[in-house]
Amino acid sequence: MSSSFDFIKDPGWIVDEPEAHAELADATRALIAGIRRANAPAGVLRRAAALAAEAAELLLPHRENGMPMQGARSLDPDAPRGLVGTAPSEFFPFSPVVGPLNPISPAIGLEFDGERLHGTAVLGAVYNGPPGMVHGGIIALVFDELLGATNVCHGLGGFTGTLSVRYEKPTFIDTELTLEGWIERVEGRKVFTCGTISIDGTVTARAEGIFIQTATMQARAED
């Protein structure tokens, strides 16, 4: 199964100043991680709060109120559409899972090999649920993105219809996780996609999703 998109020729959504934006997102991501682990004196916490408030105020005049997109700050009807790159982080820069420009994203790196989507991730205490483990809802979020991005890489992007997650073993924070996603089959406008999260070769969670293509999405995939 091959992608119907030309990742080189098809332009992506316009993103202004991506390098500077990525620097800010990285710094904010580090701040969020620091807050989660901090047990600092009140003076330190208040100083950090003042600096964070100052940064938020600095950005406020530059807020855009258009429809947010994973691939752009907001929907611009005049911008070129399509995908750019061969990694989900490149065509979903504002994703809450893989987006390098989204500060709440763990910026998981995924790569498409032509058939399957592969990647590794280390989720820290920000994403903690049970003691020492990744929150089950975060695991579901990661799977939704992993499976959805697998579909997009095949030119079969669609909306999540159902997502079933089986939690087989603890998925630990601060531990390298291996992710894999693949398409099982396509039936009309339904795309059946599966994925796993593993630690040292042992699957800790697996997911099955049914994604629904709109008529426009299906027509584009068949072109």
Helix (H) or strand (E) holding 205: strand 202-212
Distance of alpha carbon 47 from alpha carbon 45, whole angstroms:
5
pLDDT of residue 90: 81
Distance of alpha carbon 160 from alpha carbon 178, whole angstroms:
22
Of 179, 196, 189, 197, nearest in space to 159 by CA = 189
Whether residue 124 is predicted with pLDDT greater than 50 in this model: the reply is: yes
Residue-range domains of the chain with CATH: 18-222 (3.10.129.10)
Give tens-digit pLDDT for 2-50: 333 343 344 444 567 778 888 999 999 999 999 999 999 999 999 999 9
Cβ distance 95 to 70 under 8 Å?
yes
pLDDT of residue 18: 77
